[in-house]
Amino acid sequence: MPAPALMVLATLLFATMGVCVKLASEFYAASEIVMYRGLVGLTAMALLTRQQGISLRTKLPGMHLWRSISGVTSLCLWFYAIAKLPLATAMTLNYMSSVWMALFLLGGAVLMGAQKLDWRLMASVLLGFVGVALILRPTLDQQQLWHGLAGLVSGMLAAMAYLQVTALGRAGEPELRVVFYFSVGGAIAGAVITAITEGGLQTHTLWGAALLLAVGLLATAAQVCLTRAYAIGRPLVNACLQYLGIVFSFGYGMLLFKDPLTWPATLGMLLIIGAGLTATLLRAKVAPPPKDSQFNPNES
């Protein structure tokens, strides 16, 4: 399957996963959902790697550890935001990752003593945060502000995780191995956080168990599609197509959860999408990725 098709499929799967997370949050804490998502993911990846003859042994445990820390923390905050906020709002805040990457680039330029900063990149960052203000101000009260901040921080950590996934790809790690160790990190972290904050696991109903299984399968399939798309496709095209996830989530929210459609929130989403696309275009001009920065899915 070509990379653009993989990205469209990944965004649809992630949006559908968001629906299942929101439904499952009525029965389980965000950390427990993360734990089961990790368990399903690591089981699926172990079976797939065995079938394809790919070894799970890695020479880069430190890189996988840091990728798991940032990725799992982002995932926990994202699931928490999905449970407490309108679905499209939570998804949009998480998709601020491209704007955060632009901010990291500007920060790096300042630390390196750059005499001149790209004002267009600075404008895209400011535009993104104006979008955040428009989304949060009309839809959140004081208590929900923390939920919005959780979604915002999840996007920042997702940006770090994407950078680490890129580094792992350049180092030759196959995508199935990357997703496996991320799932392991999610299962462990989710279990520990649930034990500490929730006092243990919740009892299951058939509906609740089905939702947890769906979250794990959808998230794992989406993660594989996303990782593979970034491995074989053009990062710029992938980053642009990724914003379809907001559109899918917006539709789900209106159809299934009766989420309100307000003009300020809609304008804020459009500003964030525009800022993310602009930042991605400018980053590609400043630091184009090397041609050999791809995963090798056949490496064992």
pTM over 0.85: no
* pLDDT score, position 36: 95
* pLDDT score, position 291: 41
CA gap 299, 284 in Å, rounded: 28
Domain ranges (residues) in the chain:
3-286
* pLDDT score, position 283: 62
* pLDDT score, position 79: 93
Average pLDDT for runs of 10 along the chain of length 300: 87 94 94 95 91 90 91 92 87 79 71 68 74 65 75 88 81 86 93 89 92 93 80 71 82 86 79 77 57 34
